[in-house]
Structure 1
């Protein structure tokens, strides 16, 4: 589904005004003040570190002690900002108490990590970029078994295995009710897809689920209902015409049907940690590609086991809906290489007597199965609002409902209520398209302070 152009313009205007205000204050000066406030040390240098679409980061050097990174969540592009930062600090604190895998530390409302002098893993394996708008993809000039690519995959595999060992009884965000309380799942998970729904679809933030969730089935049904609500609430650029609207409505109802009728063997968990934004561009490495730090934990939560069992989408760096080299390259070359390396890492853990989840059926085998039985595509479609439509019709529909002959045939699979609602829904979307307006879901204060 295309982005709502009015929502994009509105939020980009908010970003421009925010950026102008930040520049008037002086971001380096503000970063210096915040570092002094939280670290109680005198800064000697402040430099821009890396500015992505959602955060602006500044590296602060002191007369002594480690450098810190001060990060500003970008207004107009990053939403539910308070909740996200709180969630990220909690998960970083939890991981720091459990393992040195992340090698990250948090302090008050800031984050610092070792290795800020190093490079992002992406920089070692990406194709040369000549245009900032260019999609980042894997450097296909790398030999399939090149030491660089194999080392990169090995380091990523180690983190995936570590995350899969942390398990919880609910789906949601890790936290503590009080400093003395044990770690537990305390609230809903804020995901990257939720951020994008607000940013480019004008999805009402108050309509998101509350959570946490005790079962996989309830969580998947909620995700399917988000897809339907997204189609209803995005007023502009949502449908091309009446036929397109019917097909999009039916696809979302069928995804909900799959979610309602599927029975996960892991329905009641335990649920492993999963990070929406874990990818090579958020991994800092030294010159030998050894991980120094993993950054951007803002979308990390206890998730359905099926998410952890899915093949990583980042093996060729860009997400599936943007794959330049296509599915065949992914399946024939890069997924087998990663699974071989992941299997080697699993064996190394067993040889050193370290625990791994379900050694009789290791993660590498589960990921292979997810591609063979279509689970990968179902989970990806459930988590991806703007790539959902193409993924559903190409990879999911026939797998669950047999060969496609006509849309009317698929319509008969819907409940009586869903069938009755179809034509009124189509007329609603046609009316919205004519009006070319944007609903207001937040006040200015809510946008800034939430």
Structure 2
């Protein structure tokens, strides 16, 4: 995986910390605001805090004994500030679409609003019903000792337990692929998980208007050394050549796709394993249909990109393929023709390696690892003279940029050491 820009990450963390202080100072006003949205305006009381990668939520209980509520705010610095209102608008409206057109269990949206609508203008928000449950990832993961340990599917997970979970998901997920749209977009312009990553961990990434032509530059710390630059250059050029092979249909219809649909964002009843809620649809877009038909990337909980970085392709395949086959079996347990079509659609991208192309093209920070592990063929690293010259120019440029990045990093984070040098 390509490392993030440490300077941009720190700027984002600093922005989040400053906002968090403002949010906590406004807590009483926020609680009263949530209570005012309830019929009869009962008294509200703070019950707890929910912390996620992109959102922070207050749990509110009410004096009338009615169901609890959650007010959720996107975290500035972890969600690009320019995207926060847009993100909330997208998710609130997509949740409404899901509740109307599918049986997927999603929280009921009480109301939502922009930064301007919020108490003390702390940020855009969604107020939803609170839903009890335990993260599905917690139920399925290998026991860990610390929060920093890998979240990975337990090797001894009960097969019957998995089958029941997959049967539920095999009902919910295909319903998304049955919704057709004529354009690629969110509610307005596309806003993907990857776009937000670029905007939060790359300095000076444009947020008012996304680039519509190929990038002419990369972040300064893209590569660690000269050989790393060469491998990334080859990977990107060869990946581009795969587009004609793996992009099936540019004309639609397009299907809803959420990059972050995974067990960590699903709640289950820990006793019955019934899925009680599917959460976090903030980066849902209507996308090429082939994404919706890929086998789920999250079957081992840990993403394929991390597997390729920390383990091996062989180890990934050994663990992943049996789980994928189990999903296929649960997708079509009765042999019906409609479900058989879905099962076949899942099998084809795996057999043709389109699964890896689709995964890499959605995740720009992981495209190199995906290309070299799954899509590279012997001889593809041989370049003609013109390409070699272009590559050598890029190598020199990236080494100069890396030197400048490291110098700025040292001055910012180790100023005394830099002065002594």
SS of the equivalent of 2:19 reads: helix
Match of 2:234 among 230, 250, 254: 250
Match of 1:134 in 2: 149
Match of 1:434 in 2: 403
Residues 206 and 45 from structure 1, CA distance in 2 versus in 1: closer, same or farther, beyond 3 angstroms? closer
SS of the equivalent of 1:108 reads: strand
Match of 1:87 in 2: 90
Deviation digits for residues 113-155 of structure 1, max 9, x if unmatched? Answer: 5561222222322222321112211122213x2x221112222
Residues 37 and 425 from structure 1, CA distance in 2 versus in 1: closer, same or farther, beyond 3 angstroms? farther
Match of 1:181 in 2: none
SS of the equivalent of 1:206 reads: coil
SS of the equivalent of 2:105 reads: coil
Deviates more, 1:301-310 or 1:34-43: 34-43
Match of 1:98 in 2: 101
Residues 305 and 346 from structure 1, CA distance in 2 versus in 1: closer, same or farther, beyond 3 angstroms? farther
Match of 1:444 in 2: none
Match of 1:16 in 2: 17
Match of 1:363 in 2: 342
Match of 2:30 in 1: 31
SS of the equivalent of 2:393 reads: helix
Say whether 1:108 aligns with 2:108.
no
Kept in 2: contact 1:235–1:438 (CA 8 A): no
Say whether 1:308 aligns with 2:292.
yes
Residue 312 of structure 1: how far off its partner (Å): 0.6
Kept in 1: contact 2:141–2:153 (CA 8 A): yes
Residues 284 and 268 from structure 1, CA distance in 2 versus in 1: closer, same or farther, beyond 3 angstroms? same
Kept in 2: contact 1:203–1:233 (CA 8 A): no
Match of 1:199 in 2: 200
Q: Distance in 2 between matches of 1:82 and 1:340?
A: 41
Say whether 1:235 aligns with 2:220.
yes
Kept in 2: contact 1:115–1:292 (CA 8 A): no
Deviation digits for residues 86-129 of structure 1, max 9, x if unmatched? Answer: 11011112222223323332212344555612222223222223
Name the TM-score, length of structure 2 as normaliser: 0.83
Match of 2:379 in 1: 404
Match of 1:288 in 2: 272
SS of the equivalent of 1:254 reads: helix
Deviation digits for residues 292-318 of structure 1, max 9, x if unmatched? Answer: 221111011111111112111111111
Say whether 1:336 aligns with 2:325.
yes
Q: Distance in 2 between matches of 1:322 and 1:267?
A: 30
Deviates more, 1:200-209 or 1:157-166: 200-209
Say whether 1:70 aligns with 2:59.
no
Residue 208 of structure 1: how far off its partner (Å): 5.9
Residues 30 and 421 from structure 1, CA distance in 2 versus in 1: closer, same or farther, beyond 3 angstroms? farther
Q: Distance in 2 between matches of 1:172 and 1:46?
A: 37
Residue 207 of structure 1: how far off its partner (Å): 7.7
Number of residue pairs aligned between Structure 1 and Structure 2:
385
Residues 264 and 245 from structure 1, CA distance in 2 versus in 1: closer, same or farther, beyond 3 angstroms? closer
Q: Distance in 1 between matches of 2:292 and 2:408?
A: 37
Kept in 2: contact 1:381–1:387 (CA 8 A): yes
Q: Distance in 2 between matches of 1:189 and 1:13?
A: 27
Q: Which runs of 5+ in 2 are unaligned?
A: 114-124, 410-421
Residue 172 of structure 1: how far off its partner (Å): 1.1
SS of the equivalent of 1:60 reads: strand
Match of 1:424 among 393, 398, 405: 393
Kept in 2: contact 1:129–1:136 (CA 8 A): yes
Match of 1:183 in 2: none
Q: Which runs of 5+ in 1 are unaligned?
A: 176-186, 212-221, 351-355, 440-450
Match of 2:369 among 390, 398, 401: 390
Residue 278 of structure 1: how far off its partner (Å): 0.7
Deviation digits for residues 320-348 of structure 1, max 9, x if unmatched? Answer: 1223773123344211111111122883x
Name the TM-score, length of structure 1 as normaliser: 0.78
